[in-house]
Structure 1
Amino acid sequence: MTRALDGTTVAAVTAGHVPYLFFVQLDFSQPLRVCSAGYNIDWNGVTWLGLGSLGSIDPIQEQASLEATGVRLTLTGVPTEYVAIMLAEQYQGRPCQIWFAPLREDLQLGVAPIRMFSGRMDVPAIDVGETASITVSAESKMVAWDRPKTRRYNHEDQIGRYPGDLGFIYTSQMVEKQLVWGR
């Protein structure tokens, strides 16, 4: 997949020495937003918790064909309140995003971070010791593209998705309805 990058981003990435960091967002009931900086960074209207080192991110691969890809990442030094959330709730299938951000020489954001991966989380492995280590696998959204959609175009399904929407209230009456044309 080709990406459109502006001139400033191209110059920042192709420089001789490129300091960089990663942003990772895992959408639990309380989103976990961390970055690989040793300090907190404000970006995109929120404060990203600086872990200093994220742990590891497996190489992110893109395919030119319609093929699902995934990524595996390990986060270390995660605050205990997020470990408690991960142990208590069901979040398989929730969004996971990873951004790459080249930095200026003063180690601040010089250009907008580039989204490297967007997908859905799978069941993690959690190792709790002195610090917590979380290993999460995530799959791209292409994993579900060939799954059948279980959408029923009836009133009950519409109310389940959009409470108060009466757009399909008369569809059950229309099944056996005879319409007379041309009078």
Structure 2
Amino acid sequence: MTRSLDAAAVGAVTAGHAPYLFFIQLDFSQPLRVCSAGYDVDWNGATWMGIGALGSIEPIQEQASLEAIGVQLTLSGVPSEVIAITLAEQYQGKPCQIWFAPLRGDLQLATQPIRLFAGRMDTMNTEVGDTATITLSAESRMVTWDRPRTRRYNNEDQQSRYPGDRGFEYVAQMVEKSLIWGR
């Protein structure tokens, strides 16, 4: 997938010394938003907790074909109180996003961050000490491409998703209905 970069982004990344940040958002019931700065950063209407060196992000690959890709990242230095969220909740299948942001010389955002990855969390390993380390693997949404959809087009399925909707109320009667056309 090709990405279009504006002139500010191209100038920021091609400069002699280009400081940068990574933003990572893991969508639990309370989203975990961290960045690779040593201080908290306000961006996109939220405060991103600066945990310093994130740990590592394996190279993110892009495919031109319809193929599922994944990424593995390690977040180190996460405060233990934030870890309670990750240990208590079902996380598989929840959204995970990674952005790259070039910085100016005064360490402010040079341009809007560029989204490098958007997918769903798959497996997580958490090690807890004074601070915690999270090792997470995430997969792109293409993983579900071959998975069959289990949607039934009947009234019961419609009521389970949208209670009170009457759009499929008479579907069962229409199956055996004999229609005479053209009289």
Normalising by structure 2, report the TM-score: 0.95
Name structure 2 gaps, 5 residues minimum.
Answer: none
The 8 Å contact of residues 24 and 96 in structure 2, kept in 1 or not, is answered as yes
Q: Which amino acid aligns with 1:111?
A: T
Structure-1 separation of matches of 2:118 and 2:97: 5
Which residue of the partner structure matches residue 127 of structure 1? 127
Which residue of the partner structure matches residue 65 of structure 1? 65
Which residue of the partner structure matches residue 140 of structure 2? 140
Which residue of the partner structure matches residue 5 of structure 2? 5
Q: How does 1:1-183 map to 2 (within 5 A)?
A: 1-183=1-183
CA RMSD of aligned residues (A): 1.2
The 8 Å contact of residues 80 and 129 in structure 2, kept in 1 or not, is answered as no
Structure 1 stretch displaced more, 171-180 or 46-55 = 171-180
1:166 Cα deviation from its structure 2 partner: 2.3
Structure-2 separation of matches of 1:178 and 1:20: 68
Structure-2 separation of matches of 1:82 and 1:56: 19
1:180 Cα deviation from its structure 2 partner: 2.2
Partner of 2:181: helix, strand, or coil? coil
Structure-2 separation of matches of 1:73 and 1:37: 16
1:110 Cα deviation from its structure 2 partner: 1.6
Q: Which amino acid aligns with 1:158?
A: Q
1:51 Cα deviation from its structure 2 partner: 0.7
1:128 Cα deviation from its structure 2 partner: 0.8
State, as a whole percentage, how many aligned pairs show the same letter: 74
Q: Which digits, 9 at most, give the CA deviation of each residue in 1:117-140, with x for residues without a partner?
A: 011101211111121101000011
Q: Which digits, 9 at most, give the CA deviation of each residue in 1:41-60, with x for residues without a partner?
A: 11111111111111111111
Structure-2 separation of matches of 1:107 and 1:124: 32
Q: Which amino acid aligns with 2:113?
A: P
1:155 Cα deviation from its structure 2 partner: 1.7
Partner of 2:178: helix, strand, or coil? coil
Structure 1 stretch displaced more, 29-38 or 146-155 = 146-155
Partner of 1:142: helix, strand, or coil? helix
Partner of 1:92: helix, strand, or coil? coil
Q: Which amino acid aligns with 2:103?
A: L
Matched positions, count? 183
Q: Which digits, 9 at most, give the CA deviation of each residue in 1:114-164, with x for residues without a partner?
A: 000011101211111121101000011111111111111112222222333
Q: 1:163 to 1:78 in 2, by over 3 A?
A: farther
Normalising by structure 1, report the TM-score: 0.95
Q: Which amino acid aligns with 2:27?
A: D
Structure-2 separation of matches of 1:161 and 1:74: 36
Q: Which digits, 9 at most, give the CA deviation of each residue in 1:56-85, with x for residues without a partner?
A: 111111112211111000111212233112
